[in-house]
Amino acid sequence: MRSAAVDRLTITILVLSLFMLWAPITSAHSNEDKTGGGSSFHDGDVIGEWYQHDSGVWTNLQVGLPEDPNGYRFEPACFDDRNSGDIACLRQAATCTAASDGRLVWWFSGLRVTDPATWPRLGANPSCIYSEDPAAFQERLREAILTAFQEAPITPGTMTLQPSPHTLIGAHTNVYVEASSQVFEMELLGQSIRIEVEPTEYTFNYGDGTSYGPVSTSGGPLPEARWGEQTPTSHMYSQTGDFTVGITTFFSGQYSVNGGPMIPMDGRAEVASPSQLVSVWRAESRNVADNCLVNPAGVGC
Amino acid sequence: MPVMPEEAKVESKEGLIAFARYWYELVNYGYETGDVEPVRAVSGPDCTDCNRYFDVVQRGYRDEDWMAGAMIDFRSVHSDYVLTPDGLYQVLIQFTQEPIEFFGPEGAEYGVDPGSDAPVVQILEARFQDEKWVVAQLSSM
């Protein structure tokens, strides 16, 4: 009598015959020829893939595949009889930070149909397990970092108008902003996060219904003798009156988790500089014959 | 060269398991030396995965080329010892395999196949004929 397990295995042979050991090698004498097509069926470790074990824990070991003939179990790596107080082991356990509640374990594997107690240890090193899917945790962390970036107390750029607070109609009023890169360090979901922000673009709002930007130029100061000249960020008012001038600075961000590599952030943070009031005046020219001492009733005296 | 244990010559479940163990020892011997004849001597002509193995090793050792690594670590074995309609007995084997390195004369390096850190399961189907076990078919799961 054949057992159900054997029946299932016979069927599985047909289904899985694609993944065969000692796959064909077409010709020899080159790298491509020797290894191309695979001399074994191993596809290589996929970094960042996580699998849930029967026990509920998450691991980057490919456990928990449906119909897997392999069984897997794990034991703590650091707190068993052989290793208690093992500093190196505890240090390695501290690297289990891909999600909360990381633990370092040894995995054991054997044929699922055999006694788990007989399964040999797998791999030369212990590995990390988590009680939460690290992929989901990483997504939560990424969102928390993005929110922290958007809400970070970024110091706005300093706006300067030339001249100010009074300027003239028909003349160029120079507007520029000075903004700087900034660093924020914080704890998010138990991870040490560093966020670096850098001003990249600016929008100039001249207050009379016109604006310029976003542009990458921040403008710059003019010496007083040249006030009134056109600059890339200057504006010429065509009406008199009081106008509120504002500048929005766009900051790009990048972040690192637990001292890891810097990763560019999606989106930008918009930071408004405090607005300033500028009064636009009309200048009138009259020709006069005398100065005010000679003619105190003259124009402008 | 590995010597066949007496147990592997017996027509029984334990005999089949001992034979499977021995068969993979011969496979490792072939990877080490390029001599696959001992495996061929206990494998049937229609075993497709066996033939692939012969092909890999023969090409790996062609002319003055050679191979390193590739050792199979035989980890776990199981058989229900039930005769299939084809007159074969099945045995399941779990193993891992070291990376397979390919070399040529004068230090030429042809590349490395990653082997498998992850456990691999194969089904070996064997028949007992002429007072000895022979591998009829081999498949990976």
* 8 Å CB contact between A132 and A101: yes
The answer for B 69-108 residues in CB contact with A (under 8 A) is 70, 75-78, 80, 82-84, 90, 92, 94, 96-97, 100, 102, 104
Q: How many CB atoms are located within 10 Å of the residue B21 CB?
A: 17
Among the candidates A132, A154, A186, a domain finishes at A132
Query: A35 lies in which domain range?
Result: 4-132
The pLDDT value given to residue A300? 76
Whether A184 is covered by a domain: the verdict is yes
Whether A287 is covered by a domain: the verdict is no
Domain co-membership, A11 together with A78 = yes
pLDDT band at B131 (very low <50, low <70, confident <90, very high): very high
Whether A299 is covered by a domain: the verdict is no
Whether B121 is covered by a domain: the verdict is yes
Q: What is the pLDDT along chain A (301 residues), one digit of tens a residue?
A: 444 444 444 433 333 333 334 443 333 344 445 544 444 333 333 346 889 998 999 998 888 788 899 999 999 988 655 555 677 788 888 888 888 888 999 999 999 999 999 999 998 889 999 999 998 998 999 999 999 999 999 999 999 999 989 999 989 999 999 999 999 999 999 889 999 999 999 999 999 999 998 999 999 999 999 999 999 999 999 999 999 999 999 999 999 998 889 999 988 999 999 999 999 998 777 788 888 888 888 877 7
CATH of the domain at A262: 2.60.40.10
Whether A297 is covered by a domain: the verdict is no
The pLDDT value given to residue A82? 59
Domain co-membership, A220 together with A140 = yes
The pLDDT value given to residue A1? 42
Grouping H, G, I as helix, E, B as strand and the rest as coil, residue A86 is: coil
Check if B136 contacts A (Cβ < 8 Å).
no
> Tokens in use for B44?
């049937």
Strand (E) or helix (H) holding A249 = strand A241-257
Q: How many CB atoms are located within 10 Å of the residue B56 CB?
A: 30
Domain co-membership, A146 together with A258 = yes
* Rg (alpha carbons) of chain A, rounded to whole number: 35
Taking the C-alpha atoms of residue A47 and residue A220, their distance in angstroms, rounded to an integer, is 48
**Phi-psi category of A56—alpha, beta or left, where left has phi over 0 and alpha has psi -120 to 50?**
left
pLDDT in tens, B40-84: 999 999 999 999 999 999 999 999 999 999 999 999 999 999 999
DSSP-based helix, strand, coil % in chain A, nearest 5:
15, 35, 50
Q: For chain B, what is the mean pLDDT?
A: 95
Whether B75 is covered by a domain: the verdict is yes
Taking the C-alpha atoms of residue B26 and residue B30, their distance in angstroms, rounded to an integer, is 6
Could you tell me which residues come within 8 angstroms of residue A125 by beta carbon, excluding any fewer than 6 positions away?
A: none
Q: How many CB atoms are located within 10 Å of the residue A57 CB?
A: 19
- Chain B residues with beta carbon closer than 8 angstroms to that of A70: 94, 119, 121
Inter-chain residue contact A110 with B53, CB threshold 8 Å:
no
Whether B1 is covered by a domain: the verdict is no
CA end-to-end distance (rounded Å), chain A = 123
DSSP conformation class of A292:
T
Strand (E) or helix (H) holding A105 = strand A103-111
The pLDDT value given to residue B59? 95
Nearest residue to A226 (alpha-carbon basis) of A299, A301, A162: A162
Contacts A–B by Cβ distance under 8 A: 143
Query: How many angstroms away from the CA of B8 is the closest CA of chain A?
Result: 21
Based on the structure, what is the number of domains in chain B? Answer: 1
Query: Taking residues B103-116, what's their average pLDDT?
Result: 93
Taking the C-alpha atoms of residue A218 and residue A273, their distance in angstroms, rounded to an integer, is 13
Domain co-membership, A120 together with A204 = no
Domain co-membership, A195 together with A229 = yes
Whole-model pTM: value is: 0.66
Tracing tokens 């010429």 back to the chain, one arrives at A236
Domain co-membership, A160 together with A174 = yes
